[in-house]
Amino acid sequence: MKHYPLMASLRTAGFLIGVSLSLLVPQIRCSAAEAKSASSTPQSVTNPERIAQEGQRALASGQYSVAERDYTRLLKLGLRSPQLYSNLGVVYMRTGRFARAIPMFTAAKALAPNVAGVRLNLGLAYFREHEFKQAAAQFKDTLALDPNNFQAQYLKGECHFMLDEFSEAVAAFEPLESVESNDLDYLFMLGISYGMLKRPDDSLRIFEKMVKAGDDTPHLHLLLGKAYLALGQNENAVPELNRAVAGDVPFAHYYLGVLNRQLDRPELAAAEFEKEIQLDPTNAMAFRELAEIQLSQPDPQSAIAVLRKGIARNFDSAELYATLGRAYLQVSNETRAISVLKKAIALSPSVGTYHYQLGRAYLKAGRRVEAHAEMERARVLITEEPPQGKMRAFSNDHEAEAGTDGSH
C-alpha cells in the first residue's frame, strides 16, 4: 500500500515523545514532600522524580510493562497530574487496552482541559473502541484548541463516515483535499460520502482522482470493490475484488467473502474468509464472519473451533469472545458461555448485546438474579448506544490502520 502525507503522520508512533519528562517531573517535585510524609517506605523506593524518569525512559524505549509499573506506583503515592494520567493512557493504547486508556485520558483532560494532544488521544482511544460519536466529539474539541491539527480533522471525518453522517464527513474532509489528493483511503471515504449525498458529479470527480492516484494497484481495486459494495452495486464489485485478490492485498479475500455473503453464497464466502485467515491470522473479523456462517448452518462445533483459533491470535477481540459465547449457548454449555462472555464484557463493557447474551446464559444456567441484573444492564446500554453506521462494515481495514498516540 502507498503511504500518503497525513496517514503517514498518523502511523508514526510517539509524535509527542520527548515532551513528557520536562512536563511531568516539575509536577512531581511539587508533590514530593507530600508523598514522603504519606509513606514510611524508604526514599529510594518512593522518590517520585526518579520513578517518573524511569517510567519515561521505559515508555520511550517501548518497555511498556515497566512504564505501567512506574506510573501506577506514582498514582499509589497519591500523585496526580495530567501528564501522569496521559502517559499511563499511552501505555494502555500501545498495548491494545483501549478501554483502559479512556479513563486515563479523561482524567488528564479534567486536569488540563486546554491541551489539544490529550483530547486527541482520548478521541483515538474512543475510536479504537468503535465509539465513534464520542471520538468525533473529542476530535471536534481538539480542533477548537488547535484548528490546524490535520490528524483530528481527518479522524473526525472518518468517525462521521463510520456513522453514516455524510454531510459532516464531507465538511471535515473537504478542507484536506489539497494535501490528501493522493491518499486512496481518504478519496474512497470522500467519494462515497458524496455519492450517498446524491452529489454524483463530485463523487465521480473524486473517484477519477482515486483511479489516477491508485495507478492500477491491487489496493485501488480493493477500494473500488468496497465502493461498489457500499453503493449496493454488487455486480460491479465482483471484478474489482477479484483483481484485488490476485494482488494478495490485505482484506481482499475478506471483502470478497462479505460480497459472497450478501449474494447468499455461504460456501464461497467461507472459502474466502478461510483464505484471508491463512494470509492474516490477526484479522479477527474474518474469523468472526466464518464462524457466523457455521453457526447459521448450524454447525456450532466447527464455529467453536474457528473462534478458539481466532482468539489464540486475537486475544483482545471482544467480538470473538462474544460470538464464542453464543456458540457455547447453541450447544448448551452455559458454564463456558458465561466465562467467555465475561471476557467480552471486560474488554468492551459498554456493549449492551454482550450483557444481553450473558443474561441469557445466566438464565439457562438457572441463575435468575444474575440474569435479571445483566438484562437490565443490557437494556440501559442498548438504549444509550449510538447507532452503528452501514459504512463501518466497509471500514475494518481503515480502523486497523487508524491513528497513533503520543505521550505528553
Decide: 49 and 25 in contact? Cβ < 8 Å.
yes
Q: What is the model's pLDDT at position 7?
A: 35
Residues 6 or more apart in contact with residue 44 via CB below 8 angstroms: 50
- Flag whether 262 is in a domain: no
Average pLDDT over residues 13-40: 37
Residue listed under C-alpha cell 512506574? 70
pLDDT in tens, 80-101: 889 989 999 999 999 888 888 9
Average pLDDT over residues 235-240: 88
Residue 377 has which C-alpha cell?
444492564
- Flag whether 117 is in a domain: no
For helices 116-128 and 82-94, the axis angle rounded to 10 degrees is 30
Residue 309 has which C-alpha cell?
483459533
Residues 181, 307: Cα–Cα separation, whole Å: 40
Average pLDDT over residues 309-335: 94
* Gap between the terminal Cα atoms of the chain: 31
Amino acid letter at 162? M
Residue 389 has which C-alpha cell?
453506521
Mean pLDDT computed over every residue of the chain: 83
Decide: 187 and 212 in contact? Cβ < 8 Å.
no
pLDDT in tens, 169-225: 999 999 999 889 888 889 999 999 998 999 999 999 998 998 888 888 888 889 888
Rg (CA), the chain: 23
Q: Which structural domain, as residue segments, surrounds residue 51? A: 16-112
Q: What is the model's pLDDT at position 56?
A: 87
pLDDT in tens, 59-84: 888 889 899 998 898 888 888 889 98
Residues 236, 228: Cα–Cα separation, whole Å: 6
Q: What is the model's pLDDT at position 406?
A: 54
Confidence of residue 405 (pLDDT cuts 50, 70, 90): low
- Structure letter (DSSP) for residue 62: T
- Flag whether 393 is in a domain: no
Cis preceding linkage at 250, omega within 30 = no
Judge whether residue 227 has pLDDT over 80: yes
Q: Which of 48-52, 147-151, 381-385, 400-404 has the lowest mean pLDDT?
A: 400-404
Which of the pair, 295 or 216, is modelled with greater confidence? Answer: 295
- Flag whether 326 is in a domain: yes
End residue of a domain, out of 63, 92, 112? 112
Residues 174, 190: Cα–Cα separation, whole Å: 8
Q: Give the length of the chain.
A: 408
Decide: 153 and 116 in contact? Cβ < 8 Å.
no
Judge whether residue 374 has pLDDT over 50: yes
Residues 181, 19: Cα–Cα separation, whole Å: 32
Decide: 194 and 206 in contact? Cβ < 8 Å.
yes
DSSP codes, 153-191: HHHHHHHHHHTT-HHHHHHHHGGGTTTSTT-HHHHHHHH
Confidence of residue 312 (pLDDT cuts 50, 70, 90): very high
End residue of a domain, out of 112, 144, 176? 112
Residues 154, 135: Cα–Cα separation, whole Å: 12
CATH code, 296: 1.25.40.10
Q: What is the model's pLDDT at position 392?
A: 52
Q: What is the model's pLDDT at position 363?
A: 94
**pTM for the complete prediction?**
0.69
Average pLDDT over residues 371-394: 74
Runs of H (alpha helix) within 297-333: 300-313, 318-330
Distances (CA, A) of 390 to 4, 166, 186: 26, 11, 17
Count of structural domains, the chain? 2
End residue of a domain, out of 55, 87, 112? 112
- Flag whether 355 is in a domain: yes
Confidence of residue 146 (pLDDT cuts 50, 70, 90): very high
Which of the pair, 47 or 154, is modelled with greater confidence? Answer: 154
Residue listed under C-alpha cell 515523545? 17
- Flag whether 296 is in a domain: yes
- Flag whether 346 is in a domain: yes
Residues 31, 76: Cα–Cα separation, whole Å: 13
Q: Which of 46-55, 205-214, 238-247, 374-383 has the lowest mean pLDDT?
A: 46-55
DSSP codes, 382-404: HHHPPPPPGGGGG-HHHHHH---
- Flag whether 310 is in a domain: yes
